[in-house]
Amino acid sequence: MARMCSAQAQGTPSAAHPTTAAHPCGTFNGRVMASDKPLAGASIFVKGTSIILITNEEGFFTLPASVVNFPTLAVSAAGYAPQDFTYTSCVPATLEMELLPGTRIKQHGKRKGFIMKTGS
């Protein structure tokens, strides 16, 4: 099962869903990690919209809060178990992805760090 950890708040309130239509957060920030290392190129689909974000080389992403209040994200990356995450506050999130069984990361060769499927 994938785990989610909250990162340090950056001067934003961590209140639960507001009852007003105003956007309480300027942005929704987060980072996708795998084995405690940044996961670059992970896809983040914002449910209920047509927005797809891609994490940068350090695993970070930013979603403007004007898009949707407290979004639900569907996070996926090749070779990793997909997961959903719903923001309940303005606190940046850190999502830890789990490698799928039978998948390993090749660390040598011409292409560094690509995904290989092993076994059946």
- For 64-118, how does the pLDDT look when each residue is reduced to its tens digit (9 = 90+)? 888 778 999 999 999 999 999 999 999 999 999 999 998 877 665 544 555 556 6
Measured CA to CA, the distance from residue 63 to residue 74 in angstroms comes to 13
- Enumerate the domain spans of the chain: 3-117
pLDDT band for 22, please (50, 70, 90 cuts). Answer: low
CATH class of 3-117: mainly beta
Specify which of 1-5, 33-37, 100-104 reaches the highest per-range mean pLDDT: 33-37
Helix, strand, coil shares of the chain as percentages rounded to 5?
0, 40, 60
pLDDT at 14: 37
Q: Average pLDDT, stretch 35-40? A: 94
Question: What pTM was computed for the model?
Answer: 0.69
